[in-house]
Amino acid sequence: MLTAKEMIEARVSIRDGFVWDAQDAYLFDIDGTLLRSRDRIHFNSFASSIREVTGLEVSLTGVVLHGGTDTAILREAFALAGVAPEAWEPQLEAILDAMRHTIATRRGELDLWTMPAVEETLTHLASRGALLGLATGNLELIGWTKVEEVGLREWFRFGGFSDRFPVRSAMVADAAAKARELLQSDPASICVVGDTPRDIEAARANGLSVIALATGNYPYDELAALEPEVCTTSLAALLAATPAASDGAAPQAVSARVKI
């Protein structure tokens, strides 16, 4: 349900002919899309894990975090610190293990909250027979831990994570391959749901559609300029612009530009 303020500010754009809730599978980003965090445990685990394993002091200052993958963030942090690859790459898996251990042992301290209308959207898509998965820059253990902590784990059958894929498009490709295997269908209509330009770029690199949400650090107009199939200020706004989401009727195409 949208508040009066959200109703005034809500914006939804849907490409002509694209029915956002009629795809075979959806790949959801986590941070900024499904949930947000009030703590800095995951963020701080990068520097603390590097220090624990290598003894080096490396910060994330200057690293573009939003839409990045955990493994790519580490690589960029080392590069900005001027640390040669041969000095840290042999210890990468140990650093990742230290990050996983931090989240596993401190999961009770995570302060997470679910973004508006996430559960309603997942319920709606699942009721239409869609396969739901994750496509996140988080390491697998960290991603599943966050989803579990906010009570969303039951919705997702599979996921794509950054443990083996520093490049987001490769991670999305892996998630899409898992979706096709579970669907036993190729081709299949697969849609990426995310809140950054990198989500859009990764979807495009794999020939996938994308729902862009201005719920993270990127404003609606910036995301809309990249021409995703859907751009919206929130999932709540998208559901409000879709009568079938609330009345159980057959899906209807929403106009190319809808402003609530």
**Under 8 Å between Cβ of 211 and 21:** no
In this structure, the answer to whether residues 74 and 199 fall within a common structural domain is no
Work out the number of other CB atoms within 10 angstroms of the CB of residue 186.
10
| pLDDT tens per residue across span 66-98 | 999 999 999 999 999 999 999 999 999 999 999
**214 Cα distance to chain centroid:** 12
Q: Are 63 and 192 found together in one domain?
A: no
- Least trusted range by pLDDT, from 46-60, 222-236, 242-256: 242-256
Examine the pLDDT at 246 and tell me if it is beyond 60. Answer: no
Looking at residue 185, its pLDDT comes to 87
Cβ pair 225, 219 in contact under 8 A: no
- Domain identity same for 235 and 167: yes
Please provide the size of the chain in residues.
260
Give the model confidence (pLDDT) of 33-70 as tens digits.
Answer: 999 999 999 999 999 999 999 999 999 999 999 999 99
pTM: 0.91
pLDDT category of residue 251 using cuts at 50, 70 and 90: very low
Residues 6 or more apart whose Cβ sits within 8 Å of residue 116:
6, 215, 234, 235, 236
Give pLDDT tens digits for 136-175: 999 999 999 999 999 999 999 999 999 999 999 999 999 9
The domain tally of the chain equals: 2
Each residue's pLDDT tens digit, 186-211: 889 999 999 999 999 999 999 999 99
222 burial (CB, 10 Å; 0-12 / 13-18 / 19+) is: middle
Give the C-alpha separation, 140 to 132, whole Å: 16
Q: Are 120 and 83 in contact (CB under 8 A)?
A: no
134 and 216 housed in the same domain: yes
Show the domain range for 132. 4-37+111-259
Question: 200: which residues sit within 8 A by CB, 6+ positions away?
Answer: 192, 194, 210, 212, 223, 226, 228
Looking at residue 15, which CATH number applies to its domain?
3.40.50.1000
Distance between CA atoms of 34 and 111, rounded to whole angstroms?
14
Which of 67, 82, 109 marks a domain boundary?
109
Same domain, 103 and 134: no
pLDDT for 260: 27
Whether residues 73 and 193 share a domain: the answer is no
